[in-house]
Amino acid sequence: MRILASDGMEKNAVAALKAQGHEVVEQFYEPAELAEQVKDFDVLVVRSATKVRTPIIDAALETGKLKLIIRGGVGIDNIDHKYAEEKGIKVMNTPRASSDAVAELAMAHMLSCARFVSVAGHTMREGKWEKKAYKGIEIGGKTLGIVGYGRIGQSLGRMAMAMGMKVVAYDVFKVPELENENMRYVELDELFAVSDFISLHVPSLEGKPMVNAETIAKMKDGVVIINTSRGTNIDEAALLEALDSGKVRAAGLDVWAEEPSKNEALLNHPHVSCTPHIGASTTEAQKRIGAEIVDIIGKFFA
């Protein structure tokens, strides 16, 4: 098979696919060029940078060669997956491979926000020694609200409970067996009201962003908001206003409404811990993602 990895692929996975006789092309194309190139491939593998929208799928249908689209990661909202499936192109992802990596980054942002790790390090590199300015808080004993208690949310929940936090979770699918003295399911409004930290782990949602001026008003004063899901789940203007007012103590952001982000007021805010969408960017996660992609392709074309 001819496989296009438009956002790159872990080297061991590439080697394994080539050893099986497949041709692997690692090349990013802008949408117009991708629409032409995809006509000559059996498999398209993407991460988050490539958007597979209807025009690209329609172009692939002209030759009928493309049979499988794989998202190396969890969310598939960068693919018009329902349309692709309707046209006979299978869409799959690798949901298990990067869960712990994303959860660990969410925890890293929580600690950074609690202890000013990001801004304190930045000011030190500017030659400043602002020790008295960075009086932090401890996360032990605090309540973490996790919106979306799937694989990533559960991984973060385990870490949080191990560090002495109470966890409340909201999810449309509840698994009662996961509840214990330190974790319980709640409705979304209660989660907003009782949480000291809130971490988002849901796909991109239609309509208004989940975190907006209205929902922020329901949160505790001094809440910390973490987002490693999708940037569009937060109204960035509302978040910036809440950071300026102190309603939101701090925010840890790995994802942005526009990527690369041009929201300099937000990414330069002293109470924002920011990273450039690196949730799954660990050596271990990429190896697992690559291995899962190889497995998917092997089984699909068996």
In the structure encoding, which two tokens stand for residue 287, read together? Answer: 């190896």
Annotated active-site residue 277? The verdict is: yes
Q: Which of the 8 DSSP states describes residue 203?
A: P
- Per the CB < 8 A criterion, the answer to whether 24 and 30 are in contact is no
CA 197 to centroid of chain Cα atoms: 17
Which residue from 72, 76, 73, 36 is spatially nearest to 52, judged by alpha carbons? 76
Annotated active-site residue 271? The verdict is: no
The residue whose two tokens read 């969310």 is: 75
User: Among 230, 249, 269, 288, which one carries the catalytic annotation?
Assistant: 230
Determine the 3-state secondary structure of 166 from DSSP. Answer: strand
How many Cβ atoms from other residues are within 10 Å of residue 132's Cβ?
A: 6
In the structure encoding, which two tokens stand for residue 13, read together? Answer: 């996975």
Report d(CA 150, CA 157) in Å as an integer: 10
User: Among 33, 85, 259, 284, which one carries the catalytic annotation?
Assistant: 259
Q: Which of the 8 DSSP states describes residue 141?
A: T
- Per the CB < 8 A criterion, the answer to whether 69 and 297 are in contact is no
User: Among 269, 277, 288, 292, which one carries the catalytic annotation?
Assistant: 277
Report d(CA 51, CA 78) in Å as an integer: 5
Annotated active-site residue 33? The verdict is: no
Strand stretches in 6-89, DSSP E = 23-26, 43-46, 68-71
Report the Cα–Cα distance between both ends of the chain, in Å, rounded. 12
Peptide bond into 95 cis (omega under 30): no
Just list the catalytic residues: 230, 259, 277
